[in-house]
Amino acid sequence: MRIEEGSFVLIVGDGVRSVIRVSRGSKISTIRGVVNADEIIGLEYGSVVRTNLGYELTVLRPMITDILLERGERITQVIYPKDAAQIIVTAGIGPGSRVGEAGVGSGFMTALLAYYVRPNGKVYGYDKREDAIRIARKNLELLGLLEWVELRVGDVVNEGFMERDLDAVILDMGDPWNAIPNATEALRPDGTLVIYVPTVNQVLKVLGALRDGGYVDVRMVDVMVREWKTEPNEVRPQTWINAHTGYLILSRKSARSVKLTK
Amino acid sequence: MRIEEGSFVLIVGDGVRSVIRVSRGSKISTIRGVVNADEIIGLEYGSVVRTNLGYELTVLRPMITDILLERGERITQVIYPKDAAQIIVTAGIGPGSRVGEAGVGSGFMTALLAYYVRPNGKVYGYDKREDAIRIARKNLELLGLLEWVELRVGDVVNEGFMERDLDAVILDMGDPWNAIPNATEALRPDGTLVIYVPTVNQVLKVLGALRDGGYVDVRMVDVMVREWKTEPNEVRPQTWINAHTGYLILSRKSARSVKLTK
Amino acid sequence: MRIEEGSFVLIVGDGVRSVIRVSRGSKISTIRGVVNADEIIGLEYGSVVRTNLGYELTVLRPMITDILLERGERITQVIYPKDAAQIIVTAGIGPGSRVGEAGVGSGFMTALLAYYVRPNGKVYGYDKREDAIRIARKNLELLGLLEWVELRVGDVVNEGFMERDLDAVILDMGDPWNAIPNATEALRPDGTLVIYVPTVNQVLKVLGALRDGGYVDVRMVDVMVREWKTEPNEVRPQTWINAHTGYLILSRKSARSVKLTK
Amino acid sequence: MRIEEGSFVLIVGDGVRSVIRVSRGSKISTIRGVVNADEIIGLEYGSVVRTNLGYELTVLRPMITDILLERGERITQVIYPKDAAQIIVTAGIGPGSRVGEAGVGSGFMTALLAYYVRPNGKVYGYDKREDAIRIARKNLELLGLLEWVELRVGDVVNEGFMERDLDAVILDMGDPWNAIPNATEALRPDGTLVIYVPTVNQVLKVLGALRDGGYVDVRMVDVMVREWKTEPNEVRPQTWINAHTGYLILSRKSARSVKLTK
């Protein structure tokens, strides 16, 4: 597969790691020198190019997480890939899943969900803020994933979700406990509710609300991913890591939740 | 969606958490008493049933990870879901991906990969041991995922992979460094090589071999997922956790790897 | 230094690690065979002895933490050495410190404190339960540390501490927030209050009470110590670890606390 | 106890946390405004003072770790308090212990050791670099701990330690495996050898050398201390932490080590 005008590329080597959108005639600047975009266009992915300072860099197809982390426009804190990965796999979200999400924020989690529900699933993303929805749409278009997402400006606490029988609902908002009754209405009878909160104060409120809402199989985890230095002569964990993002709380709706909601 | 004869169900409540295959006329025993399978057949998922001891349990559709962890037959140590989740998302493995895997072991990782490459991708799973391939096939059939997998008895160190242009190759074996040249041949020009090893002795050999093999963007992580008690009045991390499974090493093939292999 | 009748020894080697009190005429059984105590008496610490099965074991002077963990009689959960170490060093508890402690439990933390405040400091240990004080006394005698401890049967919530101007007070009890006013009275004007609780429910109550009590420099940590396999050919973290014991909350009394208490 | 001219104080409150040496006539600047040193002299520790901007700060006696971390002059990476605490308690270093240390670096670990071996123990600190010994001496004087330390410019790999029968030797240097034979000579027959290294490459060399050197009871840990936000309404772990400093390897000399050294 060859690099085309307009493609995203991930350029790596000698301390360089950045995602660039290739546009004809432009220059790509790195800490190891400059590469002309025109030299890259038409190359096969995986090719090695030389900067004007003589360093060799490799041009790769970026993963969706690379693009999101390096190029996505952000307006809010995002669910980190390490947490998103756990949510997606533990909740069994995959090809064909129908997933609700509030709030969408910059659309990072939305994009990953869209990537994994393809080609026959759908993500329904809500946010109260019009600017969030606008930026999320832009990010999803950038990634070619808008086809699998319905974005809606809306307040799930007061207005609820328009969908029914969803496989999973993900709540990434300050007061998720207030959205639980409407999430219950939107979920399939044994659907999965995923809640992501950063503080233990919120955790206590969520766990109480889940019990009161008839949810079962309540599980909570925090995920720590430690990155390592990989230079063969000096292998060790990185000194500084992001050691806390949020708590992931997964639970399942039951027949009891339905009664309680009505 | 209603529970049918032969379906897997996840039964939860009051300390019970188990995956059962429902068969007409059988009794389901739990630490909270017995439920007749016949009472469950025909119910909607999410329904609450009462055991002969009066406890209320909820019957859910299990996730693929639930079935694998509770019901899959094992012959080897498996890649844990927490690690599998990081591998899948970080390597961008999703619908349509073509992935090689060696060794397959009991087929747990194979099953998760198959789940995520559906409906148009494929997993090519190798293992030297015939019994591993036999059990993996059984586990994949159990999960209805065999359609997306080609299983092969074979030694990737000495015989290599039959496929070419794979998006990713995952090596879960004792001496993965010996399989790198053949993995390089099987990968697309900028394909992702994922190596999973438990000891730092192995890590040092792998990192040396990746450097010598022209691989770039070498990243290594270890993943710690801490489970919590979720009883609202006593919220705390579980005392004992599985704190180490293996190191995940991800890297990308480059044009330089191709030359070195030939 | 030579091993005498009645001494504690730590016997290690080939998977053996146990603390034994040497008594003339007895036999010491290990998973690697039997050693006669009489052969050990009179040897220098560090000597190698041979079991009846031919294995070589080494006889060492045990550390205080070895004796506590292997030989101490327990009636309650203990503060683990990993947490005790952080408390002692962060709170600056050392030779000459005067420290209050409630509850004493089996006296493990008390023993470590006594070890570190020697030879001119003192530990004042309270517990409501007479049997706890009795067992703690026994454990402290066993270790030869009773000289630096005053043990008292007493309820610090309702009756308070008899001491004043203590450098530090350590609360290891279910409802430490109720003991804060009396701890404030017992501490020196800028003394250190250390609270150890396992759940986040308790954490929230403690943090609120410290703020209301005029405490400053409130710091909280949780400590994770990962043990490794050290066989040179297979170096890796142990699979299962005790990943949560409790939260350590350290804070300092201020002039404001004094006013609030009166 | 009252604050005197020349004392160290720890000033805390409203985001301020700093260690200051009080000198008459000077002004103490903080992010919450200025306090005159003269207002502080003569106050009791724990007193509350008001800055020129109206904020209330509390003046405390700092712990030794506070002074080291905030005021000590550094020339090298230091052993962190979290690791030092584990070393001290696990190795049973306390009042009366005689401890060797190489290299001393800025003297941080030396200072903590000196604090804990008081009043009748001693620390013997070696470093090849004269400037390290000079700065360590300055830091130890600052803390009033020089009395319990002998500092020596010297190369323990080539020249060894001058002491014999030490309870513990701590090696904090790039190539500790080369210093093991001389550490063995300096230790008591069952003395404790503590080695602190940041990379797994070094770990493998150390573990091999300890086995070859007849050391027993080899244990290795890594310590993670997670700090939390303690604002009662927003309790959560800090986002960024120092997740890796070094590996702590503790082992015991045995009679076999003696033979191997000779």
Cβ of residue D200 closer than 8 Å to a chain B Cβ? yes
Task: Look at residue A21 in the predicted model and tell me its pLDDT.
Answer: 92
**pLDDT tens-digit series, residues B188-238:** 999 999 999 999 999 999 999 999 999 999 999 999 999 999 999 999 999
Q: Which of D225, D239, D248 to mutate to test the interface with A (most CBs of A within 10 A)?
A: D239
Complex prediction ipTM: 0.94
Q: Residue D92: is its pLDDT beyond 60?
A: yes
**pLDDT tens-digit series, residues C32-51:** 999 999 999 999 999 999 99
Task: Look at residue B175 in the predicted model and tell me its pLDDT.
Answer: 97
Beta bridge partners of D216: D252
Residues listed for chain B: 262
Work out the pLDDT band at C262, boundaries 50, 70, 90: low
Task: Look at residue C93 in the predicted model and tell me its pLDDT.
Answer: 97
**pLDDT tens-digit series, residues A4-52:** 999 999 999 999 999 999 999 999 999 999 999 999 999 999 999 999 9
- CA dihedral defined by C150, C154, C158, C163, rounded to 10 degrees? -10
Task: Look at residue A243 in the predicted model and tell me its pLDDT.
Answer: 82
Contact C199, C224 (CB under 8 A): no
Segment C148-167 mean pLDDT: 98
Task: Look at residue A258 in the predicted model and tell me its pLDDT.
Answer: 74
Segment D194-202 mean pLDDT: 97
Calpha distance B46→A97 (Å, rounded)? 18
Closest B-chain CA to D203: B200
Interface of D with C in 43-72 (CB under 8 A): 44-48, 58-61, 63-65
Average pLDDT, chain D: 94
Q: Which of A32, A60, A67, A79 to mutate to test the interface with B (most CBs of B within 10 A)?
A: A60
Contact pairs from chain B to chain D, CB under 8 Å: 8
Task: Look at residue D262 in the predicted model and tell me its pLDDT.
Answer: 53
Question: What are residue A152's phi and psi, to 5 degrees?
Answer: -140, 130
This prediction has a pTM of 0.95
Segment B8-16 mean pLDDT: 94
Task: Look at residue B68 in the predicted model and tell me its pLDDT.
Answer: 84
Q: Where are the domains of chain B?
A: 8-62, 65-261
Q: Residue D117: is its pLDDT beyond 90?
A: yes
| CB-based contacts of B38, cutoff 8 Å, min separation 6 | B24, B25
Task: Look at residue D259 in the predicted model and tell me its pLDDT.
Answer: 67
Task: Look at residue D70 in the predicted model and tell me its pLDDT.
Answer: 77
β-strand D98-102 against D56-60: which pairing, if any?
unpaired
Cβ of residue A245 closer than 8 Å to a chain D Cβ? yes
| CB-based contacts of D102, cutoff 8 Å, min separation 6 | D125, D126, D127, D156, D161, D169, D170, D171, D172, D173, D179
C14 or A77, which is more confident: C14
Q: Residue D91: is its pLDDT beyond 90?
A: yes
B124 or B67, which is more confident: B124
Work out the pLDDT band at D168, boundaries 50, 70, 90: very high
Q: Residue C210: is its pLDDT beyond 90?
A: yes
Architecture of domain A65-261: 3-Layer(aba) Sandwich (3.40)
Average pLDDT, chain C: 94
Task: Look at residue D258 in the predicted model and tell me its pLDDT.
Answer: 74
Residues on chain C touching B244 (C-beta within 8 angstroms): 226, 236-239, 241
- CA dihedral defined by B89, B93, B95, B100, rounded to 10 degrees? -150
Q: Give ∠ CA B227-B228-B229 in degrees, rounded to 5.
A: 135
Q: Residue C201: is its pLDDT beyond 80?
A: yes
Residues on chain C touching D208 (C-beta within 8 angstroms): 232
Question: What are residue D111's phi and psi, to 5 degrees?
Answer: -65, -45
Calpha distance B207→A111 (Å, rounded)? 32
Residues on chain B touching D204 (C-beta within 8 angstroms): 200-201, 204
Q: Which of C77, C235, C247, C248 to mutate to test the interface with B (most CBs of B within 10 A)?
A: C235
Calpha distance C55→D16 (Å, rounded)? 59
Calpha distance C161→C167 (Å, rounded)? 13
Q: Residue C89: is its pLDDT beyond 80?
A: yes
**pLDDT tens-digit series, residues D44-68:** 999 999 999 999 999 999 999 998 8
Q: Pick from A200, A206, A212, A211: which is nearest to A244 by CA?
A: A200
Neighbours of chain A (3+ CB pairs under 8 A): B, C, D
Calpha distance A255→A213 (Å, rounded)? 10
Cβ of residue C200 closer than 8 Å to a chain A Cβ? yes
Task: Look at residue D219 in the predicted model and tell me its pLDDT.
Answer: 97
| CB-based contacts of A65, cutoff 8 Å, min separation 6 | A81, A112, B89, B90, B92
Task: Look at residue A202 in the predicted model and tell me its pLDDT.
Answer: 98
Task: Look at residue B225 in the predicted model and tell me its pLDDT.
Answer: 93
**pLDDT tens-digit series, residues A155-198:** 999 999 999 999 999 999 999 999 999 999 999 999 999 999 99
Work out the pLDDT band at A261, boundaries 50, 70, 90: low
Calpha distance D106→D124 (Å, rounded)? 14
- Are the Cβ atoms of C226 and B234 closer than 8 angstroms? no
Work out the pLDDT band at B262, boundaries 50, 70, 90: low
Task: Look at residue C1 in the predicted model and tell me its pLDDT.
Answer: 82
Calpha distance B230→C11 (Å, rounded)? 41
β-strand D216-229 against D247-252: which pairing, if any?
antiparallel
**CATH code for the domain defined by A8-62:** 3.10.330.20
Task: Look at residue A79 in the predicted model and tell me its pLDDT.
Answer: 86
- Are the Cβ atoms of B243 and C244 closer than 8 angstroms? no
Residues on chain B touching D201 (C-beta within 8 angstroms): 204
Calpha distance C130→C104 (Å, rounded)? 11
Question: What are residue B168's phi and psi, to 5 degrees?
Answer: -150, 150
Beta bridge partners of A95: none
| CB-based contacts of B262, cutoff 8 Å, min separation 6 | none
Task: Look at residue D1 in the predicted model and tell me its pLDDT.
Answer: 81
Out of B239, B240, B244, name the one closest to residue C237 (CB).
Answer: B244
Q: Residue A236: is its pLDDT beyond 70?
A: yes
- CA dihedral defined by B185, B186, B189, B192, rounded to 10 degrees? -120
Structure tokens at C34: 């039997």
Segment B14-33 mean pLDDT: 94
Calpha distance C218→C212 (Å, rounded)? 12
Closest B-chain CA to C224: B243
CB neighbours of residue B6 within 10 Å: 10
From residue B246, alpha-carbon distances to A202, B82, C114 in Å are 32, 11, 41
Task: Look at residue B259 in the predicted model and tell me its pLDDT.
Answer: 67
Structure tokens at A175: 């007061």
Closest C-chain CA to A204: C201
- Are the Cβ atoms of D203 and B200 closer than 8 angstroms? yes
Contact C18, D226 (CB under 8 A): no
B240 or B171, which is more confident: B171
**pLDDT tens-digit series, residues D201-257:** 999 999 999 999 999 999 999 999 999 999 999 999 999 888 899 999 999 999 999
Instruction: Count each helix (H run) and each strand (E run) in chain D, helices first.
Output: 8, 15
Out of B236, B239, B244, name the one closest to residue C236 (CB).
Answer: B244
Segment B233-259 mean pLDDT: 92
Structure tokens at D145: 């701990």
β-strand C122-127 against C149-153: which pairing, if any?
parallel
Contact C98, C166 (CB under 8 A): yes
Residues on chain D touching B201 (C-beta within 8 angstroms): 204
Tell me the residue type at B129. Answer: R
- Are the Cβ atoms of B204 and D203 closer than 8 angstroms? no
Q: Residue A59: is its pLDDT beyond 70?
A: yes
Calpha distance C45→C25 (Å, rounded)? 19
Q: Residue B246: is its pLDDT beyond 90?
A: yes
Q: Pick from A238, B203, B219, B197: which is nearest to D203 by CA?
A: B203
Segment A100-106 mean pLDDT: 95
